[in-house]
A and B are shown apart, each in its own frame.
Chain A
């Protein structure tokens, strides 16, 4: 009997967790699409000609899911593999996302080998991309498949090498221990390995931009006619997987370089007089209260009815979050750590994603040859050098008692010097390569 209960409990926990992850991811995908569109609009780029608002995004996502499910259920022999392919891509993303730790105790799966696992899932997703392209676009040149896989793999290699600096500094490949190490050392790894973070950012931007575009852009770029929209939804679903991978990349960057669920100034631990509540734990509720007031103000002065409604909803959500974040301050410290940890993690992720989209919108998209050459001639060598530089900084700190600031500064300067030399060298070599393949 107890065995049956045990199994039921395990299934229920897994099921609820899975629903939570999927719901969260879908919300994140919509948010990313809306943000991407807003950024494109603010740049006045041509792909932003038709403004897409939140309700339309929701409708698009629903249609996309509908046609996806219809395809899965059809079981047509010729079409089953493409659907399986996009299923692999999305499922790999969901599984990888589920293995992120959102707080000291907020996680679904805690592996010792979280970092490798997430990269493994990323390679699984490449399967999905390759298969989906191979089957769904009948007239796609096959060489394009290999190029896309190669491109993703190249930049994933660059991103992985960039993350190694975090592994060296923390001495672990467990995501929780990497965050714990940042608390112990009193500094986020961004400040100890800035070059590593920049390389990671560059690799993620270059690796993700042509293979996959967020929902909003793809539909426009496919020359989609509003009249026959459902027909175009095979592509958006492929890029749904890609948007999920953007979210995972943000989660990894937050964990490894931005201190995960740690609050800024995590080692400052003064308390409110006579309470166990720390002073800086007042930040999240205050931030949410300010957001709620701001959104309410914007809503009251907004002319557009839909936007007015959206801002009111945002204001209400912020107010709700304020209540939760402030209320938990009266709970035991473990609860504060969990809820506020999740808040900080998501806030950092949001900032990272916004910066990512902002940068990507401003960086021109090159065709195949240039990014690949940049990856192998510049990014990956520099990432390897950065690994050595970070290790050397660690040695100078531990053996010669250099201060963290000095060792980081010296080693960053050396890595940047080599980066400049590599870039100049690469430029002088450009003509020797002749025409791109």
Chain B
């Protein structure tokens, strides 16, 4: 139990520290790598909570897919001079303020619900929760799951159309 707690604190500290470092970096490539560190640390927390599917998906989709895309786009499209943009931009402050408000809201919500609520703990999960999740997605809520795939299909078709137009 104590080990669990220690691991959680370890991953949480890495996630928080690298998230903080990420938003304060000027170099966006460094920020992308710090984002990777944050996502991996959160993946570690998932694994420690025995949410193995969430962990693997985090690794494959976010750390592997999304951040890789960021890194590639930054390296391909953003010139070296713009990667370290230090100029003042009021929009950044507005967005930061909005994010801060949202963050405070979430923290307040967590704090308010903290008393008397039982947080999902590892013991309450089914022993094979990856299998349980598969059952939920592909048997119990199949229709909703398939509906969610329609936008994805539309996106794939859209990408194919865009790519085709360029080569022909």
Check: B158 CB closer than 8 A to any chain A CB.
no
With CB as the reference atom, state the residue of chain B lying closest to A143: B76
A124 near B59 (CB under 8 angstroms)?
yes
| Option from B33, B56, B129, B131 in Cβ contact (under 8 Å) with A117 | B56
| Mask: chain B, 51-79; 1 = CB below 8 Å from A; 0 = not | 01101111110011101100110011000
Quote the shortest CB–CB distance from A75 to chain B (angstroms). Answer: 15
User: Which of B2, B55, B56, B57 counts the most A-chain CB atoms under 10 A from its CB?
Assistant: B56
| Option from B36, B57, B60, B76 in Cβ contact (under 8 Å) with A142 | B76
A173 near B130 (CB under 8 angstroms)?
yes
A127 near B67 (CB under 8 angstroms)?
yes
Check: A149 CB closer than 8 A to any chain B CB.
yes
Known contacts A84-B33, A142-B76, A149-B72; is A6 also within 8 Å of B53 by CB? no
Residues of B within 8 A of A120 (CB): 56, 58-60, 63-64
Residues of A within 8 A of B60 (CB): 116, 119-120, 123
| Option from B3, B36, B56, B63 in Cβ contact (under 8 Å) with A113 | B56
B128 near A112 (CB under 8 angstroms)?
yes
Check: B153 CB closer than 8 A to any chain A CB.
no
B3 near A10 (CB under 8 angstroms)?
yes
B130 near A130 (CB under 8 angstroms)?
no
Quote the shortest CB–CB distance from A17 to chain B (angstroms). Answer: 16
Check: A146 CB closer than 8 A to any chain B CB.
yes
Known contacts A119-B60, A127-B36; is A113 also within 8 Å of B52 by CB? yes
Residues of A within 8 A of B159 (CB): none
Residues of B within 8 A of A124 (CB): 59, 63-64
| Mask: chain A, 211-238; 1 = CB below 8 Å from B; 0 = not | 0000000000000000000000000000
Quote the shortest CB–CB distance from B61 to chain A (angstroms). Answer: 8
Check: A381 CB closer than 8 A to any chain B CB.
no
Residues of B within 8 A of A3 (CB): 2-3
Interface size on B, as a range, is: 20 to 34
With CB as the reference atom, state the residue of chain A lying closest to B30: A81
Q: Give Cα distance in the complex from A173 to B53, angstroms.
A: 10
Known contacts A3-B2, A119-B60, A127-B36; is A113 also within 8 Å of B53 by CB? yes
Quote the shortest CB–CB distance from B17 to chain A (angstroms). Answer: 16
Quote the shortest CB–CB distance from B42 to chain A (angstroms). Answer: 13
With CB as the reference atom, state the residue of chain B lying closest to A111: B52
Check: B94 CB closer than 8 A to any chain A CB.
no
Residues of B within 8 A of A112 (CB): 52-53, 128-131
Q: Give Cα distance in the complex from A123 to B60, angstroms.
A: 7
A117 near B55 (CB under 8 angstroms)?
yes
User: Which of A6, A116, A142, A145 counts the most B-chain CB atoms under 10 A from its CB?
Assistant: A116
A123 near B2 (CB under 8 angstroms)?
no
Q: Give Cα distance in the complex from A123 to B160, angstroms.
A: 23
B68 near A130 (CB under 8 angstroms)?
yes
Q: Give Cα distance in the complex from A400 to B2, angstroms.
A: 54
With CB as the reference atom, state the residue of chain A lying closest to B36: A127
In chain B, positions 107-159 with a C-beta closer than 8 Å to chain A are: 128-131
Check: B161 CB closer than 8 A to any chain A CB.
no
Known contacts A10-B3, A124-B64; is A145 also within 8 Å of B76 by CB? yes
Residues of chain A having any CB pair with chain B under 8 Å: 3, 6-7, 10, 81, 84, 111-113, 116-117, 119-124, 126-127, 130-131, 134, 142-143, 145-146, 149, 173-174
> Top 8 nearest A-B pairs by Cβ distance?
A123-B64, A120-B59, A116-B56, A120-B60, A113-B56, A112-B130, A3-B2, A112-B52
15 contacts between A and B (CB under 8 A): A3-B3, A10-B3, A111-B52, A111-B55, A112-B53, A113-B56, A113-B130, A116-B53, A119-B64, A120-B63, A120-B64, A124-B64, A130-B72, A131-B33, A173-B130
